[in-house]
Amino acid sequence: MAVNPQLLRPIDLASYGPVIPVIVLERVEDALPLARALYAGGVQVLEVTLRTPAALPAIAQIARELPEVIVGAGTVLNAADAGRAREAGARFVVSPGYHRELAQACRALGLPLLPGVATASEVMAALADGFTFLKLFPADAIGGLGLLKAWRSPFQHVYFCPTGGITSATAPQYLALPNVRCVGGSWLAPAPSIQAGDWVRITQLAREAQALRPA
Ligand SMILES: O=C(O)C(=O)C[C@H](O)[C@H](O)COP(=O)(O)O
């Protein structure tokens, strides 16, 4: 699917495929080969977590060199993180939880935010601030499948990207839920494969993830 250069809406992230890879990069020099390997497997949306010093320069390189890829920042915890992500060229940001200050900062920066929630109260807070596409985190640990089935009734127009502990085996069950649009997961970019420069393996994992269908 061709990348729309206009400002994304968070829900648009789900239109590029069923899985958003959650990436942890230890070395900046792995950024481009990794992004190219994922893209070769059909994955266009990448979330690089701000957990390592390599993350921001990696986002900057991907944004500069690979315009066909939509790169965002994960593990965004506050307004300062969002500002740094924006400066590096991130097209969207993902947070593990929700708070209004971060939401306001992202709006001010024109940066689409996929905020994390784990409780009904957090869904209500995000919804009150206009967010209708949310990351459920940590999905597996909090019984995400049952939770999302239960939330369908009170939150009829809220959609989710469950993330946290999801695998290629469990993803199809999540994707089958009517309020799930895509899932997030780190299994497409395993640390040992990145360390070994095994880009062929990562392309294969990406291709398999891209082919996942609802159970
Ligand atoms: O960094 C963030 O913003 C997070 O919220 C955490 C990530 O979503 C999980 O680390 C996903 O990783 P896996 O569970 O290995 O698939």
Identify the structural domains of the chain with CATH numbers, from first to last.
Answer: 10-206 (3.20.20.70)
4, pLDDT greater than 70:
no
Q: Is 135 a catalytic residue?
A: yes
Which residues, judged by CB distance below 6 Å to any ligand atom, belong to the binding site of ligand 1?
22, 49, 74-75, 94, 96, 116, 137, 163-166, 184-186
CA angle 8, 148, 97 (to 5 degrees): 55
b/e for 6-21, b at 16 or more Cβ within 10 A? eebebebbbebbbbbb
Q: For residues 67-95, give the mean pLDDT.
A: 98
Q: What pLDDT shows up at residue 155?
A: 98
Q: How close is the Cα of 212 to the center of ligand 1, in Å?
A: 19
Q: What pLDDT shows up at residue 210?
A: 96
Q: What pLDDT shows up at residue 8?
A: 82
Alpha-carbon gap, residue 45 to 92, rounded angstroms:
10
Q: How close is the Cα of 174 to the center of ligand 1, in Å?
A: 16
Question: Phi, psi at residue 194, to the nearest 5°?
Answer: -65, -45
For ligand 1, atom 16, the nearest C-alpha belongs to 185
The preferred substitution site among 22, 49, 170 for testing ligand 1, maximizing ligand atoms within 8 Å of CB, is 22
| Percent residues over pLDDT 90 in the chain | 96
Q: Is 47 a catalytic residue?
A: yes
> CB–CB of 34/57 below 8 Å?
no
Q: For residues 99-109, give the mean pLDDT.
A: 96
Q: How close is the Cα of 209 to the center of ligand 1, in Å?
A: 16
Among all chains, which residue has been given the structure tokens 């789900």?
Answer: 14
Atom in ligand 1 nearest the alpha carbon of residue 94: 3
Alpha-carbon gap, residue 29 to 212, rounded angstroms:
29
For ligand 1, atom 5, the nearest C-alpha belongs to 96
For ligand 1, atom 11, the nearest C-alpha belongs to 164
User: Which whole-number Å values give the CA distances from 109 to 85, 94, 124, 198, in the listed order?
Assistant: 10, 14, 23, 36
